[in-house]
Structure 1
Amino acid sequence: MKLQHSVLSVALLTASLALAGTANAQTQQNQTQNRGHSAYNYVGVGVADHDGGDSIFVEGSYEFKSPYVVSGYFRNFDNDAGSSSDALSIKLSRYFWLGSGLTADVGARVGHVDFGAVDSNFWGVEGNVRQRIDQFEFYGGIGWIDYTDGGSDNQYQFGVNYYIDSNLSVGVGYQDSEYGDGVRFRGSYHF
């Protein structure tokens, strides 16, 4: 029942982000033409291979008032021992234009994670840098997370996304998350 509630919450969040993006398409298009790019307005799905299992995730991001962004994800983790856990997070961040195709963002994150026998809330901060070169977007970032029932953790990520066109991208990266580090593959729709 708890997993169904989490999946429903993420589905509603994803649908809300997609509808909000459609409702503000003209405004976002004007901002994109002036300065922005679609890296901060998307919905995506993916899989990740962690140290002790695999996860699937749904994520999204929406630039609600330039340059402020709200983003979130739901991750379901199946460990090698046969049990399943999930994590849900939301982040508020601000991005900065540093140059041609180069942006940096900083933000604060809160969420909830199920470590199997232990559930924990968490909060943290993170920063990321993105460089867009033609159809490729290279990214990297670091963060710090404090689990209310499990200590703290330094996290990092880096990878590349390939934009098939202005609305679709696929990517591969390496990320340290709640369930350990590993390779992740994702596909995203940008609006």
Structure 2
Amino acid sequence: MDETSFPRVELDERPKLDAQELAFPKSQSGITDDDALNRHVKHSSGGVQEFWQLGYRLFNSSADTFPVPFVAGDAFDETFLRAVSPYYTLPKEPAPPLSSLTNLTPLLGLVSAIHVSSFFHLFDEAHQLQLAKSLAGLLSPLPGSMIFGAHGGLPEKGLQIGEDDQSKVGSYMFCHSPESWGELWNGQVFECGTVNVEAIWKPGIG
């Protein structure tokens, strides 16, 4: 297969972040030097759509045979996903055609299954709560609707401290326990008693 037929994605381009953009990664990684942190931050802004197109070629597919729209965005950006309280009754507005979506806000209260994995533990406790509230606003109130996935965790809620083999700099990752994870969703995000939360922690997975 001719590799030149695939879209070119530059993986080694790492635009430098400014001081404001570096503040949060600094607080989470323990790396205080700007240049060192820039070497560790993978900035992804232009290659996502190219990977989607590459997937079509790899699986001999197309937008016609696999008509699943791909909508890239920032879950913390209000213009992409407006944060609202969870829905306890169905929205009056019908679901929009998925092909028309440019952000996720039109789907508020309409999504029956949301898969999120290897994601929550990338953020501190406050941002995890913010993310959970944003996702909860998407969930349909119909019985059986669910948010599911796997994330880094601990048997007891707190910081998981590790060491980067390359930088030898300590890294800190906030992790929920099964108990605190349940309390997050059943009480802080959704009204207590309105949802069922199932969570387990497995050693070696996180």
Same fold (TM > 0.5): no
Q: Of Structure 1 and Structure 2, which has the larger fraction of its residues in strand?
A: 1
TM-score, length basis structure 2: 0.26
Structure number with bigger Rg: 2
TM-score, length basis structure 1: 0.28
Q: Of Structure 1 and Structure 2, which has the larger fraction of its residues in helix?
A: 2
